[in-house]
Amino acid sequence: MAKKNHLPERVLHDPVRDRLTPIYPLDLSKIHSLDDLVRAMGRTAFTARQVGDAADVLEAMARDPSCLVVMTLSGAMTVAKMGLIFCDLIDAGVVHAIVSTGALVAHGLVEATGRSHFRYEPQKMTDEEMFWAGYNRVYDSIEPEVNLDHVETLAHRVLDAWDPNEVVSSWRLHRRIGELLAREAKGRGILKSAYRRNVPVYAPAFTDSELGLDFLLHQKMRQQKGRPLLRFDAFDDCEHFAQLLFRSERLGIFTIGGGVPRNWAQQFTVYSELLTRRGYEKVGLKRYQYGVRICPEPVYWGGLSGSTYSEAVSWGKFVPEREGGRFAEVLEDATVALPLVAGAVLERLGYFGKKKAGRKRSAARALVSV
């Protein structure tokens, strides 16, 4: 005799009564601004919805007056011409500290001093020929070696005037370079904006960069001339970053890519927990309450770049959502998602209107002076 099927009977629910959130077709005829587009994307599905959600969370942390926002940067974002977006986020007051790869900062100096990157055209030169011509390829773009020689000259100017009794760390060096750019450079740049807004820029893997090599070369020059060597202290970065975050009520993180910058910025929370639990200082548990991540790396590769905020909750790095944490993750190339997310939020904050008004005032002053 066959056994009866004891599965429960399905009871079909009404999604309206269950208060499910509806999604809508993206109607391009109703799109009149970048923010319109991103809001409409947030009411659709897949990666488009991720973009919309990310803009909402970034806006929330930007509008929270008690939140210090850390932006972490990796990948060749300045060679990829995303640098002015980072300047806008700094100038708008959205970002209060930056943790970056050293390479991204060095390539950004090329932009800030008026030099260019170029499109890679494989039919013109092979990679071997480009080496001898001094053309460094970054995927589909070119960083000419003469640009990096110019960066070295700028770094030497700053280091040459450095007091040997003062330690060198990445945030200190970046600040001095930003100060020089603010005095002399006409163009915009990350370090110039950071200096003007008092935003520290940290490069945890400083030796893995053009500026790191320039520091080594400067030490060689000092050695040859019999001048006292400078002392680089990476832990000065750690302590300065920690003290900045300890003074803040709430924390947010906006991550482009992953790698060392993301891990270094997030491990502060582990440091704060260890200080308290192991009896060094009673600083309590400091965790990020907001998080937005733009990175296409999948979680199953096992690297931190692709790890989820949910996984980081287990390390004590983030406030769980049930306790008020707000997070969004966009699994997309940053050159596609970043302009959408950042542009929409800057539009919501009225930043572009203020920029236009500032340009008009500057033009009026120039006419008066003429």
In a domain, 50, yes or no: yes
Helix (H, G, I), strand (E, B) or coil at 138: strand
Rounded Cα gap, residues 114 and 118, in angstroms: 13
pLDDT band at 31 (very low <50, low <70, confident <90, very high): very high
Based on the fold, state whether residues 178 and 261 are members of the same structural domain: no
Based on the fold, state whether residues 253 and 218 are members of the same structural domain: no
Q: What is the CATH number of the domain that holds 183?
A: 3.40.910.10
pLDDT-above-70 percentage for the chain: 95
Task: Report how many domains make up the chain.
Answer: 2
Q: What is the dihedral sign for C-alpha 319, 323, 326, 332? A: positive
In a domain, 80, yes or no: no
- Higher pLDDT: 319 or 111? It is 319
* Res 361 pLDDT > 60: no
Across the range 270-297, mean pLDDT stands at 94
Based on the fold, state whether residues 113 and 179 are members of the same structural domain: yes
Domain range enclosing 110: 101-197+204-234
Based on the fold, state whether residues 34 and 108 are members of the same structural domain: no
pLDDT value at position 357? 65
Based on the fold, state whether residues 137 and 229 are members of the same structural domain: yes
pLDDT value at position 3? 63
pLDDT value at position 303? 85
Rounded Cα gap, residues 202 and 193, in angstroms: 14
In a domain, 85, yes or no: no
Q: What is the dihedral sign for C-alpha 13, 19, 24, 29? A: positive
In a domain, 76, yes or no: no
Nearest alpha-carbon partner for 111 in 145, 147, 136:
147
Tokens encoding 302: 């096992």
- Burial category of 292 from C-beta neighbours within 10 Å (exposed 0-12, middle 13-18, buried 19 and up): buried
Q: What is the mean pLDDT of the chain?
A: 94
How crowded is the C-beta side of 362, counted as CA atoms within 13 Å?
6
Q: Phi first, then psi: what are they for 244, rounded to 5°?
A: -60, -45
Rounded Cα gap, residues 347 and 33, in angstroms: 9
User: Is residue 113 a contact partner of residue 181, using CB atoms and an 8 Å limit?
Assistant: yes
In a domain, 93, yes or no: no
Based on the fold, state whether residues 157 and 45 are members of the same structural domain: no
In a domain, 3, yes or no: no
* Res 297 pLDDT > 70: yes
Is the pTM here over 0.85, yes or no? yes
Based on the fold, state whether residues 227 and 254 are members of the same structural domain: no
Tokens encoding 69: 């926002």
Q: pLDDT tens, 93-122?
A: 999 999 999 999 999 999 899 999 999 999
Q: pLDDT tens, 176-195?
A: 999 999 999 999 999 999 99
Tokens encoding 270: 């582990």
Based on the fold, state whether residues 228 and 107 are members of the same structural domain: yes
pLDDT-above-90 percentage for the chain: 89
Q: pLDDT tens, 34-82?
A: 999 999 999 999 999 999 999 999 999 999 999 999 999 999 999 999 9
Based on the fold, state whether residues 105 and 227 are members of the same structural domain: yes
The DSSP secondary structure of 176-196, one letter per residue, reads HHHHHHHHH--S--HHHHHHH
In a domain, 75, yes or no: no
Across the range 236-247, mean pLDDT stands at 97
Rg (the chain; Cα; Å): 24
Based on the fold, state whether residues 106 and 229 are members of the same structural domain: yes
Rounded Cα gap, residues 344 and 342, in angstroms: 6
In a domain, 53, yes or no: yes
Based on the fold, state whether residues 48 and 128 are members of the same structural domain: no
pLDDT value at position 370? 38
Q: pLDDT tens, 242-256?
A: 999 999 999 999 999
Non-local (6+) Cβ contacts of 95 within 8 A are: 69, 70, 71, 86, 89, 199, 254
Based on the fold, state whether residues 229 and 347 are members of the same structural domain: no
User: Is residue 60 a contact partner of residue 289, using CB atoms and an 8 Å limit?
Assistant: no
Question: How do 135-138 and 141-144 pair as beta strands?
Answer: antiparallel
